[in-house]
Amino acid sequence: MVIGRRFDIQAMALAKQGRLAVYPPSRGQEACQIGSMLALSKDDWAFPTYRDSMALVTRGIDPVEILTVPHGAAHCGFDPRANRTAPQCTPLATQLIHAVGFASGEQRKGRPTVAMAFVGDGGTSEGDFHEALNFAAVFKAPVVFLVQNNKYAISTPLAKQTAAPSLGYKGIGYGIASEQVDGNDVMAVLAVLNKAVAHARSGQGPVLVEAHTYRLDAHTNADDATRYRDSDEVEDWVRRDPIARLEAWLCDGGLIDDAFIASVAQKAEAFAADLRMRMSVDLAVDPMSLFDNVFATPTPQLLEQRAMVKSELEAEEASR
Amino acid sequence: MTLTAASETSGTPAPAPQQVTMSGAINRALRDAMTADADVVVFGEDVSTLGGVFRVTDGIARDFGQDRCFDTPLAEAGIVGFAVGMAMAGFRPVIEMQFDAFAYPAFEQIASHVAKMRNRTAGRVNLPIVIRIPFAGGIGGVEHHCDSSEAYYAHTPGLKVVTPATVRDAYTLLREAINDPDPVIFMEPKRLYWSKGSIESAAAATTFDSFGRAAVRREGTDVTLVAYGPSVDVAMQAASAATESGWSVEVVDVRTIVPYDDETVVASVRKTGRCVVVQEAQGFAGVGAEIAARVQERAFHSLHAPVLRVAGLDIPYPPPKLEHLHLPGVERVLDAIARLQWDDNADTHFFPHGTASGNTANGNQGGAA
């Protein structure tokens, strides 16, 4: 969690320095993102959104590859199959139904895979969220929907997003086992998600977990959160910081000491330093890659356009 | 091509080939693909027990089991998104959108995910999905059941867009679509579902290679009609009728809108020197406009006349009792052919009202020589 947060802070700093086009931070949501990944086995799949970068760090994905999209030289930088993680999804809730189809497909092939599908409070208003829940329930797909209710969809507060008593109710309507959990208590998140993953894996169908948490930072580096919420509210959630809570609990139980805390902080600093260094290297981009992977075999029209760009670049090169 | 050659070289005098409908040919293609590859699955609304509202999947669930041909909840984005996940898990989904206009809820899934997954993942995740869409009109259907939606898909990079005009092509193009490593929008002209033809020689083939190859359906020397899907039949009828006026008309069936075969179309226009593009879809910003532009970009110096388009009207699909006025018919095609500068007189069709010559105040438009 400490490393995840340090990654998040570092990425936000890189965005503010202009080294990333944009970064959507998730500081304050460590218990949800790290807890969820720890509940999965290595063959399970994650279907994350753009805000779930700390979850991807937890999965062991190279942080430079996680940041490829905002770094600007390519789209998804990591290998989804090797990392058992779908590309981070920007159109909200659209990847949830992929998780459902994938999990159902794995089940049909006799494999015990579980898919963890990520969505926020705002995303639960999208039609694809509802279609995903319905398909998952009808096909008894081994999916766990993790709703990180961080209270805001950019600036829109939960009260303007839904009239449901809780987002967990949205699962119940589809016949899905649904739970709520304190999303800033990693032990609680782990307990609930371990149970949810086991339920899904056992063939009893999907589970929806609403985790109550809070986005301590703005929507992205380009957003100004002071326009829609006051600092008292943020301070209130800082007091419920998931890392501080875990640390206090572990210290109270005598499970960790100051030396351990210092060593973790040091590890996190080294992680951030390595990321800073590797992100400072200018990326080599291949202009011809524009035409790769539109189709397995490029159409004649794409080949014509490729030749045009190539000759433009060659002329540019020659005139230097 | 290969298929034709195979059928022509079989030595024994075969009995008259059995006639099947286009919907039967599609059904057979699905069955043959499912037999050839256990990962091919069919799903959508009412495709299982009922066999689809057009009965295209008739009997498939019975013969292949509910695991391989299943009904889904009524939600098109869900069906397409589910197919994305199934493809990621190793299946080759062939899914049905019940009607053209009912596919619109799935457009985000198609445009943002189906079309882009290979590109977004640097080729690591490809999606061999076929999305079957019964499309276009001419069957007396009511609103929301007759849209020609091909341009939306053709305008989206990463999608192949295919539409058969013959029973045989319905079979071979669908088999090729299912074999393709990339997503294919397979648009079935509803009004041709009951047309008849033979697929026997095609069904004996093991490889299919029609994608990106337009087919010359009728040879001619004076005019090229370029058409696809439901409009090929209209073009063929117009070509026959045109002989009465002494015009020898060549008809090119595009078959795969993407990948598009510039070569065959342009070769035909270079030969004939005149070109009319026929499409049932509303004309503005349509596939026909693209074809017309490409022809004149590539064959301008072979052209004796501007490339004309005959298309549906730029209106929402009309009520059944008015659709005959909307659909491009033989007469409109013949009218277009008649305007192809057979003499040196100006084509006055687009002149402003009330001007005989088209010359306007500043005298620089129209311009009959």
| pLDDT, position B347 | 84
Position B12 scores a pLDDT of 63
- B238 and B309 share a domain? yes
Q: Which residues of A250-285 are buried (b: 16+ CB within 10 A; e: fewer)?
A: eeeeeebeeeeeeebeeebeebbeebeeebeeeeee
Contact A86 B113 (CB under 8 A): no
Check whether residue B24 and residue B119 sit in a common domain.
yes
Question: What does the longest C-alpha to C-alpha distance in chain A come to?
Answer: 70
The confidence band for B354, taking pLDDT boundaries of 50, 70 and 90, is low
Considering CB atoms only, which of A91, A101, A106 is closest to B108? A91
Whole-number average pLDDT of chain B = 93
Contact A93/B at CB under 8 A: no
3-state class percentages of chain B: helix first, strand second, coil last, to nearest 5:
40, 15, 45
pLDDT of residue A107: 98
In the block, tokens 């990621």 appear at B88
Query: What's the pLDDT tens digit per position in B313-339?
Result: 999 999 999 999 999 999 999 999 999
| Among the partner residues B84, B105, B119, nearest to A293 by beta-carbon distance | B119
Per CB-CB distance under 8 Å, the chain A contacts of B78 are 97, 128, 131-132, 134-135
> For chain B, what percent of residues have pLDDT higher than 90?
86
Cis status of the peptide bond prior to B259, with omega within 30 of 0: yes
Contacts of B125 in chain A (CB under 8 A): 80-81, 87
Residue B191 and residue B288 in one domain: no
B76 shares its domain with B194:
yes
Name beta bridge partners: B132.
B96, B186
Q: Please spell the DSSP secondary structure of B46-90, one letter per residue.
A: T-SSS--TT-TTTTHHHHH-TTTEEE--S-HHHHHHHHHHHHHTT
Q: Which helix (H) or strand (E) holds A116?
A: strand A115-120
Q: For chains A and B, what is the number of CB pairs under 8 angstroms?
A: 136
| Mean pLDDT for the stretch of residues B158-167 | 98
Instruction: Check whether residue B161 and residue B260 sit in a common domain.
Output: no
Interface test with B, best of A49, A79, A293 (most B CBs within 10 A): A293
CA A108 to chain centre: 27
Of A79, A101, A300, the CB nearest to B85: A101
Contact B86 A102 (CB under 8 A): yes
Residue B14 lies in a domain: no
Phi, psi dihedral angles at B22 (to 5 degrees): -65, -40
Q: Are residues B119 and B246 in the same domain?
A: no
Which are the contacts of B124, defined by CB distance < 8 A and separation ≥ 6?
A79, A80, A81
ipTM: 0.97
The last residue of one of the domains, among B158, B173, B203, is: B203
What radius of gyration do chain B's Cα atoms show? 22
Of B145, B155, B324, B349, catalytic: B145
Whether pLDDT at B17 is above 90: no
Neighbouring C-beta atoms of residue A3, cutoff 10 Å: 21
- Residue B363 within a domain: no
Instruction: Measure CB to CB from residue B77 to each of A105, A127, A138 and give the nearest one.
Output: A127
Give yes or no: residues B197 and B278 share one domain.
Answer: no
Q: What gap in Å lies between CA A252 and CA A226, rounded to an integer?
A: 35
Is the pLDDT assigned to residue B367 strictly greater than 90? no
- Structural domain including B116 reads 19-203
Whether B171 and B193 map to the same domain: the answer is yes
Query: From the CA of A100, how many Å to the nearest CA of chain B?
Result: 6
Q: Kindly state whether residues B164 and B224 are assigned to the same domain.
A: no
A299/B89 CB distance under 8 A = no
What is the reported pTM?
0.94
Provide the residue type at B39 as one letter. D
- Decide if pLDDT at B65 tops 80: yes
Alpha helices in chain A (DSSP H): 2-16, 30-39, 53-58, 63-66, 68-71, 80-83, 96-108, 127-138, 158-161, 168-172, 186-201, 231-238, 242-252, 258-279, 300-318
What pLDDT is stored for residue B201 in this prediction?
A: 86
- In the prediction, which pLDDT does A230 show? 94
Tokens of B246: 């002494």
* Catalytic annotation present for A215: yes
Task: Give the torsion through C-alpha atoms of B304, B310, B313, B319, to 10 deg.
Answer: 170
- Residue B77: inside a domain: yes
pLDDT at B15: 73
Let me know whether B189 and B321 are in one domain: no
Task: Name A163's Cβ contacts closer than 8 Å, sequence gap at least 6.
Answer: none
* The total number of structural domains that make up chain B: 2
Nearest to B125 among A80, A135, A295 (CB): A80
pLDDT at residue number B365: 43
In this structure, is residue B358 part of a structural domain?
no
A129 touches chain B (CB under 8 A): no
Contact assessment for residue A184 and residue A215, using Cβ atoms and an 8 Å cutoff: no
| DSSP 3-state of A231 | helix
Confidence at residue B205, expressed as pLDDT on a 0 to 100 scale: 87
Closest by CA position to A193, among listed A128, A118, A89: A118
| Tokens linked to A283 | 């990326």
> Residue B277: is its pLDDT beyond 70?
yes
A128 touches B at CB < 8 Å: yes
Q: Is there a contact between B136 and B326 (Cβ–Cβ < 8 Å)? A: no
Rounded to an integer, the average pLDDT of B261-268 is 98
Confidence check: pLDDT of B360 > 70:
no
Alpha carbon of B69 to those of B35, B187, B203: distances in Å?
13, 20, 21
* The predicted structure's pLDDT at residue B13: 66
Q: Using the 8-state DSSP alphabet, how is residue B109 labeled? A: I
A303 shares contact with chain B (CB less than 8 Å): no
Q: How confident is the model at residue B74 (pLDDT cuts 50, 70, 90)?
A: very high
Asked if the structure places residue B357 within a domain, the reply is no
Q: Is the pLDDT of residue B366 over 70?
A: no
B59 assigned to some structural domain:
yes
User: B90 and B133 share a domain?
Assistant: yes
Give me the CATH number covering residue B94: 3.40.50.970
Residues B197-214, mean pLDDT to the nearest whole number: 92
- Active-site residue, from A6, A84, A212, A215: A215
Distance from CA of A50 to the nearest CA of B (A): 14
Tell me the average confidence (pLDDT) per consecutive run of 10 residues in chain A, 320 residues long: 97 95 96 97 97 97 96 94 97 98 98 98 97 98 98 96 96 97 98 98 98 96 94 96 97 96 98 96 89 97 97 94
Contacts with B108 from chain A: Cβ below 8 Å: 91, 94, 128
Q: What is the pLDDT of residue A125?
A: 97
> Does any domain span residue B145?
yes
Fold of A2-279: Rossmann fold (3.40.50)
Residues A128, B126: C-beta atoms closer than 8 Å: no
Active site residue A5: no
Do B198 and B75 fall into the same domain? Answer: yes
CA angle (B95 as vertex; B91, B97 as ends), nearest 5: 160
Residue of B nearest to A129 (CA): B78
Quote the pLDDT of residue B353: 76
